[in-house]
Chain A
C-alpha cells in the first residue's frame, strides 16, 4: 500500500512538472507602441497598448518615444526666448509682458512664473539659458518637429519610485525631508545613489547629495581626499556628529564630503552668487541634518 502510494506520488509529481516544462507556452503581457512627447515634457500622443504575446516573441515588443515641439509650446518657446532677451537687456517691462503671456497659457512653463514673480517683487531675475525639457532646445522659435527618437527612460526617478536592491541601505543619507529644501527623486545605481534638492532660499538654486559605496573604508578615505581636491578654494574641514567633513569651493559650487566606513557622502550646493564660499555654512548645516 505504502509503496504503491509512494510510486503514485512520484509519478504524479513527474507528470505535473513535465506539463509546464514541455507543453504550456507562457504568455507575457507587453506594452508596445509609440509615445510622442513635446520638448516641454508633455505627452502629446500615447499610442501604446498592452498585448499578450507568446514568451518567445517578447523581445520584438517595446515602446518607442518620439520628441517634437508642439505648436503651442513652439509659440511659447519663442515668447520665452524674447522674455529672456529682454531680461538680459534690462528691459523688465517687456520681459514682464512676455512672461505674463506665457504664464497665462502654461503656468508651469520653465521658469516663467518664478521670473514673473521676481519682476513683480522688484528684482531682476537671472536669465534662463538652459535648454527645454526633452532634449531639444525649444527656444529657437521653430516648430521643431524633429522626429528624433527620444530617451524617455532617462527622466529622473520620481520620489515614489524608491530604489530596489542592496543600494536601498544608502538612502539614509538622502532623506525625504531636509529643512530649507524640497526633495526630488532618487537616482540609484548598484552601489551609488544621488538625490537632488531644490532650496527654498534664494542663496542657492540646487543641492545634490551623492552616496557611494566603496570596496572598504580605505578606498572611501582615498576617494574623499581626491574628491575634495577638485574644490581647492576656501578649503576647510569640520567635525560634525563624529564625521570629519572636508569642504571646499570651486566657482559657484561648495562641497562637503565625509566618509562613514566604506561609504562617502558628498553634499554639493550651487550658489546663486558669484562664489560658493558663502554656501559652505549651508553645506555644513545639511551635513548636520543628515548625520543626526
Chain B
C-alpha cells in the first residue's frame, strides 16, 4: 500500500468533508416543521389573526344574544377545524407516539371548545359590557400568553413589563371609548369575568402545546389533533346542552352565528401561520392589539360616516393605542449578549440605572394604592331625591399608575438584562413613546361604575338625570415612577453606549470575539 494515509477522517466516520448523503442526525433538536419567520410572513399572520379575532369578537357579541353557549362552542370548534385544514390540509404523516396527539387533543378540547363556551356562557344579553368582555377575552389573553412566554426567557423582566404596559394600554383604550365609560372590570360581574380569564388560561395552554409541537416539527399533526379534540369537546358540550334543553336546531341560524364561525376559522389559520415560525410572541402581541384594531374600525366609521355622536376621547384613545404598541414591541425577544465593558463609569451607570429603576417600580406600586383622582356624582334617584357624592379613586383604578409600572419594569429589565444594543434602542424608543402616551392618557379612570353608588343613579350616567365627573392629576408617586423609568433608561443607554465603544476598541486590537461570548439563546 503506497496510498497516503487519509488524514481527513480524524476517526469521525466520514472520509471527506462536504455534504453527507446520510439522514440528518437525530441528536439535535429538530425544527423540520418550523419555518424561519420573515417579517412579511409574520405581518401577514398577524393581520389574519387580528382580523379574525376582532371579527369573531364583534360577531360573537352579536350572536350570543340569541344563541346558546353550546351552539357557539360547536361553531367555534368547527371553525377552528376548518382553520387547521386551511393551513395544513389533511395530514400526510402519522403521529410518532401517544403524547404527540393526545396532549394536543386535550388542549384542543379546552382551547377550541371549552374556552369559547366558558366565555359565552358567562355573557348575558347586555352584560358584562362589551368593552369589558373584549378586554378580558383578547388583550388579557394576550398578556397571559406574553407572561407565560416571558417566564422562560432571559429577558423576563422587560418582557413582563412590556406585557403589563400593553395590557394597561389596552385597558386605557377601551376606557376611553366613551365618557362616562361602562368599562369597570371586576366590579359588577366578578365571577363571570374571572371565568373569562380562566378561559384565557385554557387557551394559553393550547397555544403553548402547539408552540411546543411547532418546535418539534409536528405542528401539522398537533394542530389536527387539537382541532379534533375541539370537535370532540364541542360534541360533549352539545350533548350536555341537548340533555339540559338549552340547545336546539334553531340555535344554528343567523348571519352573526355563522359569521362568528368563519371568523374563528380565519383566526385559527392566522394563529397557525404565526406558530409555524416556532414563535408565539406575535400571537400574544396580536391579541393585545385587538381592542386597538376595533377602535380603528370605529374611527373609520366616524371619519367616513355621517354626523352623529362621536363617543371616543380621541387623543386618549390614540395615546393608549401607542402605549399598547410600545408594550407589544417589547415582547419580542432580543437574545442577550455579554457586554464586555468593565470601566468604572459604565459599572456605576449600570448599577445606577438598576437602582433608579427599582425605585421607580416601587413608586409605581405605591402609586397603585394611594388615592389618585376624585369622582363627583350628581343624580336624581327614582324616589325624586337628589343624590350627590364624591369619592377618591385608588391608583389601581386609574390608568396612569399601571402605565408607569409597566414603564418602570421595562426600564428595570433593560438595566439588568444584557440586551443587544439594537434591542436596547428599540425598547428605548418604545419607552419614549409610552412616556408620551402616559402624559396624555394617565388620568383615564379604569372604573366608572362602583358597588356603592346607587344603581338607579349609575344607570343614568351621561343623561340629564345623572352625571359623574372625574378630576385630579397623576399622583406624585406615579410621576416619580414614570420619571424614574425615563431616568433609568437614560442611564442604561449611557452605560451601554460606553460599553459598546469600549468593546469596539477591544475588538479593533483583536481581543474580542462577540460570537463566542454572545447569545446563549432564549427558550421562550
Contact = CB atoms under 8 A, between A and B. Distances in A.
Interface of A: 1-2, 5-6, 9, 12-13, 16-17, 19-20, 26-31, 35, 55-56, 58-59, 61-65, 149-154, 157, 163-170, 187-191, 213, 217, 260-263
B369 interface: yes
9 contacts: A29-B390, A31-B386, A58-B453, A59-B452, A62-B381, A62-B386, A62-B387, A170-B309, A262-B308
Given A28-B391, A165-B311, A166-B309, A2 B416 contact: yes
B39 interface: no
Contact of A59 (B361, B454, B464): B454
A20 B394 contact: yes
Contacts of A58: 389, 452-454
Q: Which among A26, A27, A56, A260 has the greatest number of chain B C-beta atoms within 10 A? A: A26
Given A16-B369, A62-B385, A55 B451 contact: yes
A150 B467 CA distance: 20
A31 B178 CA distance: 27
Nearest to A13: B365
A6 B153 CA distance: 13
Given A26-B452, A61-B387, A261-B306, 8 more contacts: A17-B368, A27-B391, A30-B390, A64-B386, A164-B469, A165-B311, A166-B309, A262-B307
Nearest to A149: B384
Interface string B396-415: 10000000010001001000
Nearest to B416: A2
Contact of B385 (A55, A56, A63): A63
Contacts of B358: 5
B380 interface: yes
A217 to B, nearest CB: 6
Contacts, number: 138
Contacts of A163: 464
B391 A63 contact: no
Contacts of B157: 2, 5-6
B389 A6 contact: no
B467 A164 contact: yes
Contacts of A9: 361, 409, 412
B19 interface: no
B366 interface: yes
A63 B365 contact: no
Q: Which among A2, A149, A152 has the greatest number of chain B C-beta atoms within 10 A? A: A2
Interface of B is mostly: mixed
Interface string B338-364: 000000000000000000001001100
A35 B387 CA distance: 12
B521 interface: no
Given A26-B452, A56-B452, A260-B306, A63 B463 contact: no
Interface string B103-136: 0000000000000000000000000000000000
Interface string B158-175: 001000000000000000
A30 B388 contact: yes
A29 B391 contact: yes
Given A166-B309, A170-B309, A28 B462 contact: no
Interface in B407-460: 409, 412, 416-417, 450-454
B390 A165 contact: no
- The 4 A-B pairs of least Cβ separation, nearest first, read A261-B306, A166-B309, A153-B380, A165-B462
A263 B396 contact: no
Contacts of B361: 9
B465 interface: yes
A24 to B, nearest CB: 8
Contact of A28 (B385, B390, B412, B417): B390
B179 interface: yes
Contacts of B394: 20, 26
A16 B366 contact: yes
B225 to A, nearest CB: 35
B307 A26 contact: no
A188 B366 contact: no
B310 A166 contact: yes
A188 B467 CA distance: 11
B397 to A, nearest CB: 9
A252 to B, nearest CB: 27
Nearest to A9: B361
Nearest to B386: A63
Nearest to B164: A13
B245 interface: no
Given A157-B464, A189-B464, A65 B452 contact: no
Contact of B369 (A19, A56, A164, A169): A19
Contacts of A30: 387-390
